[in-house]
């Protein structure tokens, strides 16, 4: 991928130096355990925390951070991807008469305080709707390459763009509506709604890549294939079969590999928000 002058977002918060404590109210241990289990299997549990708040009695202490050369390169790349999503979604929102509120992206190691509870590296990248921040331990990218066999900078960018897609859903009021609806449904029905929310985030990631490439020519040959490979690797059916040898569709919360590829493609090929309405389209 190519990002021209290498402009990085100013909304990256680096907590890799540690510091800070978890303070204020705690969410229930059951919710935390559900979240950890969801993240372990590659499932974004942000719906568990929609509307949650945390009284933060302490702030993260900022310390100078210098990681390995590889990690620093990843940090700069993440900042460039975030900056490009800001350009794209800022323009899309302005065109529809709305204002895009830029999310912050937090880099951390091991664990960190969030408004959704304690975020841990084992959870993978996630978006917290309560503080409108994306969280990522850069070590996840090694796991993406080694465990999920999904290497490449386009696959790495897709991960960030998907989480930013959740932020777009938050701003548009979609995630809040889904959370309210989930509370009235059976587990299987609630899971089906979560799948639609996640597939829409994939479609929104595709939209970003469409606009970024149209306007700034960021893609190299093979980049789209890298993204589709990552989407396949983290499909619910792929993860379930790898973890337990069989697939249970009613327990899907992210969507199958085929669905994830389909919806990313739809966003990438159309570049239109209305084409990403997973709640009305199949």
In a domain, 176, yes or no: yes
CA-CA distance, 99 to 4, in Å (whole number)?
25
In a domain, 167, yes or no: yes
**Residue 60 pLDDT:** 44
Each of the 282 residues of the chain gets a pLDDT tens digit; together they read 998 778 999 999 999 986 433 333 333 333 343 444 444 334 445 544 444 443 333 344 445 566 789 999 999 999 999 999 999 999 999 999 999 999 999 999 999 999 999 999 988 899 999 999 999 999 999 999 998 999 999 999 999 999 999 999 999 999 999 999 999 999 999 999 999 999 999 999 999 999 999 999 999 999 999 999 999 999 999 999 989 999 999 999 999 999 999 999 999 999 999 999 999 876
Q: Are 16 and 67 in contact (CB under 8 A)?
A: yes
In a domain, 125, yes or no: yes
In a domain, 211, yes or no: yes
DSSP letter for 121, please.
G
**pTM of the full predicted structure?**
0.84
Domain tally, the chain: 1
In a domain, 230, yes or no: yes
In a domain, 165, yes or no: yes
Q: Which residue in this structure is represented by tokens 């389909």?
A: 262
In a domain, 89, yes or no: yes
Q: Beta strands 133-136 and 126-128: pairing type?
A: antiparallel
CA-CA distance, 93 to 207, in Å (whole number)?
13
**Six-digit token string for 87:** 């350009």
**Residue 71 pLDDT:** 93
**Which residues span the domain enclosing 198?**
12-276
Q: Are 62 and 19 in contact (CB under 8 A)?
A: yes
In a domain, 173, yes or no: yes
CA-CA distance, 124 to 9, in Å (whole number)?
21
């Amino acid at each position: 991928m190519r990002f021209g002058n290498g402009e990085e977002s100013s909304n990256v918060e680096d907590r890799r130096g540690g510091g800070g404590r978890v303070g204020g109210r705690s969410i229930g241990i059951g919710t935390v355990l559900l979240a950890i289990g969801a993240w372990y299997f590659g499932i974004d549990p942000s719906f568990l925390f929609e509307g949650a708040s945390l009284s933060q009695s302490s702030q993260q202490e900022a310390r100078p951070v210098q990681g390995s050369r590889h990690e620093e390169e990843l940090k700069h790349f993440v900042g460039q991807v975030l900056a490009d999503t800001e350009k794209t979604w800022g323009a899309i929102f302005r065109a529809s008469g709305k204002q895009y509120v830029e999310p912050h992206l937090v880099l951390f190691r091991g664990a960190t305080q969030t408004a959704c509870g304690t975020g841990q590296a084992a959870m993978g990248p996630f978006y917290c709707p309560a503080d409108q921040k994306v969280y990522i331990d850069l070590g996840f990218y090694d796991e993406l390459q080694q465990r999920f066999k999904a290497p490449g900078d386009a696959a790495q960018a897709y991960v960030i763009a998907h989480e930013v897609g959740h932020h777009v859903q938050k701003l548009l009021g979609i995630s809040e509506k889904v959370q309210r609806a989930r509370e009235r449904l059976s587990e299987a029905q609630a899971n089906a709604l979560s799948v639609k929310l996640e597939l829409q985030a994939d479609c929104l990631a595709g939209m970003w890549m469409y606009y970024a490439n149209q306007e700034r020519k960021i893609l190299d040959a093979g980049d789209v294939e890298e993204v589709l490979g990552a989407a396949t690797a983290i499909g619910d059916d792929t993860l379930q079969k790898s973890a337990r040898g069989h697939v249970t569709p009613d327990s899907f919360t992210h969507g199958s590999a085929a669905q994830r590829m389909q919806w990313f493609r739809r966003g990438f090929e159309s570049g239109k928000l209305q084409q990403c309405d997973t709640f009305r389209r199949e």
